[in-house]
Structure 1
């Protein structure tokens, strides 16, 4: 494990606890991007076929990460919002159709569905605060429900849902299942087959330790051609590269959602980052993150006036713990942490901390010391 920790050469005294927002890159990702830039300077696109080989390796790594049946199910997209839009504006909606979401979703997984309201689509928000959020979500599905879209881990509280249970319940109800996996993919194992999800998407810049501007869209094979395409270009064609061909058709694979030139710089960096996660193993990554979140929880619970806004049950959380201090303004707490080089963020009426598998014990202990000093 020591060699993996050496991948993260962060500034002295920096305490980075913000992986649920944007993660630092491992050294290998920076090196891959640097080599690619140098190659562009010296050789231009002479070795473009080799670049496409890296892109293929990225698809294969993402396939394994999601446990997708095939690389044909994997599209490389700009971000989670784009993938959600492909689903929302690709389905053939009828007036009166319903979409179920939660009342805790990040705007990307709310606005895209509300944008369908002019078409007569009703968006129903379900409260997740009860003891059985999965039951509440499934109970909200009625005869007009077409799709349920949910974050597998909620971005504020870190609440982790049982997506396999949801997937089974939705299959029984003949309701489509869309999973925003951005707060799970790279932090915990994910299994698209076991969850029976129809669509899943995530960005590369959070727990996947990659750059912004490149994400993944999983689309179940049986549904690909049911999504009306919104974007067209040379890259999404079945016979990509045959530029003189007059007749054309969209790719049968999920590449049909990739209209034009790929983000090759992002591909180089993200493929390298995923190689690290694969070497560590997602089971180990998840275990190490759980240990660090528990460490933070136990330290926070010793603070006078602490209010924890995240689930205490380890089975209900991933890499997020959000808190506030009674009698202390969140902005004041955040400013104090920032002054001590603790990188975190304010979310949902609290301060959100999100360690990754490599986060050093010193980072957690020093962060807790700052908070204990503030709380008195």
Structure 2
């Protein structure tokens, strides 16, 4: 689960991590009061969306004067901001963060994230703050410093000081960096985060460290014990179909292809999409109905996939281990009868009660294309999609 910048900074404040003075604005008539509260005659306006690249796309603007501030905030609120990470439609801007200008002496990069290969939290830092960190890692990997946290001992102050000195900070700034990093680590642990990023973390002209930006992603599997933060979820930043899928316990991600996929198991779903691509087609979605699929859940999954107007064929690929293939077949029949299906449906069933499932589909009288293995199923789906173009 992603948090907005203003939400991440609220958590930073709770952990005494320094941030610029700022106010969140959701309506244009709140601008004057926000400007008065922050002070000064120049500000930075930041659109609040769940995507990076805002600055390059007009979502972060420096303005001078109250009239200019009103104009910029009004233009952003209610708009859709398109960045390299949003796709062509963009994401809706329902709030902006107005912050005081800061006197920047140096820009740093700092992040904490899960290193699953090492089974430890990794701390990454660089003096190339404010830049695309992926490009830095590719072109100048020596600028990216990494240290890992032992799960038993936790982050140690000396690790922060060592990173600070490697970044070229003074002794006092290295101590600030170490203290900030320890607080950030505690925030990471307390919120069940999977990633916290500050880019840039700046050194002001007065030698103080300040988190100019903030990104924080939470572990979805731990949200049951993060009730307050779970309530912060902004579903306007998520595809409506994905929101509906959550309500039915389905794992769904919309893609840009035209062959719908309904599979049980994330690994099998990825393999199915790979084989569709290998066969010359384009998957329209990732959808894992899970191991505890029921006929009604399968029907809902079917409807969800077909809500995409770009679908030209649908591939159902089920391996019956925990889930029974006859239940899947009943769900497919139920969905086809409930929804106006005007695209070819390819079904591959294997495993528990697979024969019974195939028999249910055969007796249904519906126009379903059977497949005996995944390779055949993917080729049938691609051919069907081409014929339905």
The normalised TM-score by structure 1 is: 0.26
Larger Rg: 2
Larger strand share, 1 or 2: 2
Of structures 1 and 2, the one scoring higher in RCO (CA 8 A, sep 6+) is 1
The normalised TM-score by structure 2 is: 0.25
